[in-house]
């Protein structure tokens, strides 16, 4: 939550500054995240600000884990150590659960 907590005030300040300079009401239409880390941050920001979230999942941790283990050259423990795969999957699943649109 560290990054998303820091993003929200910046977004709010930016919107306030834009609205101060415009006759039209400017609002945030959506938050868009890519991959696991940014997807999870986007999910947190979207929930905090009450706006829709879009996720572009270029690759998914569950698929990567399955592919790596199927090759037989790396153990589950090595995959976890090298890729922190369980954390990645957790973040992706949060993002997928929150996303209004998945690309």
The reply to whether 52 falls in a domain is yes
The reply to whether 2 falls in a domain is no
pLDDT at 58: 87
The reply to whether 1 falls in a domain is no
How many domains, in total, are found in the chain?
1
Q: What's this model's pTM, rounded to 2 decimal places?
A: 0.85
The reply to whether 98 falls in a domain is yes
Q: Which domain holds residue 37?
A: 29-102
Tell me how far apart the alpha carbons of residues 19 and 69 are, in angstroms, rounded to a whole number: 52
Backbone angles phi, psi at 48, to 5 degrees: -65, -40
The reply to whether 9 falls in a domain is no
pLDDT at 36: 85
- For 50-68, b where at least 16 C-beta lie within 10 A, e where not — what string? eeebbbebeebbeeebeeb
The reply to whether 16 falls in a domain is no
The mean pLDDT values, 10 residues at a time, for the chain of 103 residues are 91 97 95 93 97 94 94 94 95 96 96
pLDDT at 71: 87
The reply to whether 70 falls in a domain is yes
pLDDT at 25: 94
pLDDT at 53: 98
pLDDT at 3: 86
């Amino acid at each position: 939550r560290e990054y998303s907590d820091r993003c929200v005030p910046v977004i709010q300040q930016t919107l306030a500054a834009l609205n101060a300079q415009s006759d039209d009401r400017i609002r945030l239409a959506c938050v868009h995240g890519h991959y696991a880390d940014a997807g999870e941050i986007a999910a947190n920001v979207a929930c905090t600000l009450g706006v829709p979230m879009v996720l572009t999942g270029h690759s998914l941790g569950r698929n990567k884990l399955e592919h790596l283990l199927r090759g037989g050259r790396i153990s589950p423990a090595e995959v976890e150590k090298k890729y922190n795969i369980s954390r990645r999957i957790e973040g992706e699943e949060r993002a997928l659960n929150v996303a209004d649109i998945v690309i």
